[in-house]
Structure 1
Amino acid sequence: MLRRVGEEGDILTCPYNLSHQILRCRFQVHLVRCRKSHPDAKKVVCPFNVTHRVNEQELDWHVSTCSNRQSFEVFKSSDSHASGSSMSNTFNDNGTEANSTWQTANTSFELETSQNWDDLPSVPSYNPKAYAEKANVLRQPVGMKPSERVAFRNAERKRLQNL
């Protein structure tokens, strides 16, 4: 079944102004603009989905019931199984998880590798003009004056005959 733009699932209501009905594809842009129009609104961003804006008092409830929490829990459980540790579901006063996997990963993540790019031999950078002069390709005299084009074409004939 094809869905048409404007069906009920494609239109979302703005948390800053309930009379604003926005298409899902434009919702993030609208939130940024509408936030500027309502600077005194006491809305906070959900830690699982940036398009979820809720009142400060409702954040704890929203975090516990957020539909996007499942994908985070799957990520967290797969990461904790890989590292052999388990995380608890404790939350700070502002509703963010106290022992969050993504916070830990972003602050203390180091990639272990045996490669050292400083030890690689120095290689000259790629020069497309030098390559084209030696390769069996047709070149065009782009942006040259008429006298330069004549000289270029004569040099190209000699170059292609020698290849």
Structure 2
Amino acid sequence: MFANNTKFFDHIRRQTSIEGQRFQCSHCSKRFATERLLRDHMRNHVNHYKCPLCDMTCPSPSSLRNHIKFRHSNEKPYSCDYCEYSCKNLIDLRKHLDTHSSEPAYRCDFADCDYSTRSLYSIKNHYKPTFISTYYDFNIKSQNHFYCVPQNKV
């Protein structure tokens, strides 16, 4: 049993033959099937502060404290003033606070379209069938608006 899919797939990749392990450590010559596995291994040579709760290693004591606080602690010091929601960081709280707003967070800026929504997922799905063709693509113009831009015709 593996903690998550990434750990399972890492295990599978480690079972590959030497020929399939193209990425080599410059410190100890150990070989890996993927660049990410090599990067994870390189932490052993560079970072010296290992988390006692998982395989993570950190470059400094303060980064290890932050890792433990955000990955292994149940402490949620940021609380919503409007409901019982609490979270570990300010970014998540700001995203949550948007759910209490009645204003739509995203608006379509395409000509003659007044579609708006609270969900990033919904605005992306709105663009795909409505405006995306071989000639148009969508980009984020600001945090709250999308716009269509002509693609280079081949």
TM range (shorter): under 0.3
**Normalising to structure 1: TM-score of the pair?**
0.22
Return the TM-score normalized by structure 2.
Answer: 0.23
Q: Is the helix fraction higher in 1 or 2?
A: 1
Q: Identify, as 1 or 2, the structure richer in strand.
A: 2
